[in-house]
Amino acid sequence: MPRTADSATREPLVAAAVRLMLTKGYVATTVDDVCASARLTKGAFFHYFEDKEALAQAADRAMHRRELVVDSLTHYRRYVEGLLTPPRRKRAA
């Protein structure tokens, strides 16, 4: 049974899958591609994932978490910029 806990080995596999699936697509991305990109063995892959679909699900969750972080940072940046931007003065008529 594959492990589900995060580890220093699992995360590079997920990161590689995200990169490859975004550039090549799910169908064109192979387990061998992911392992080569992560510089890990197939044994390491199957230690953490039952199959490519399980990896794709983990990659999807990782992308969703990153999107939430980026959205939060974007909103925070806009808030801070609003605080730092001096108010506009009305022109005299």
Q: What is the pLDDT of residues 22-81, one digit of tens each?
A: 899 999 999 999 999 999 999 999 999 999 999 999 999 998 887 777 777 787 788 777
User: What domain range includes position 57?
Assistant: 10-84
The number of distinct structural domains making up the chain is 1
Helix then strand then coil, % of the chain, to nearest 5: 65, 0, 35
Quickly state the pLDDT bin for 83 (edges 50, 70, 90).
Answer: confident
Residue at 5 is within a domain: no
Residue at 4 is within a domain: no
Quickly state the pLDDT bin for 5 (edges 50, 70, 90).
Answer: low
Residue at 91 is within a domain: no
Residue at 45 is within a domain: yes
Residue at 1 is within a domain: no
Closest to 45 (Cα-Cα) out of 20, 65, 24? 20
Residue at 33 is within a domain: yes
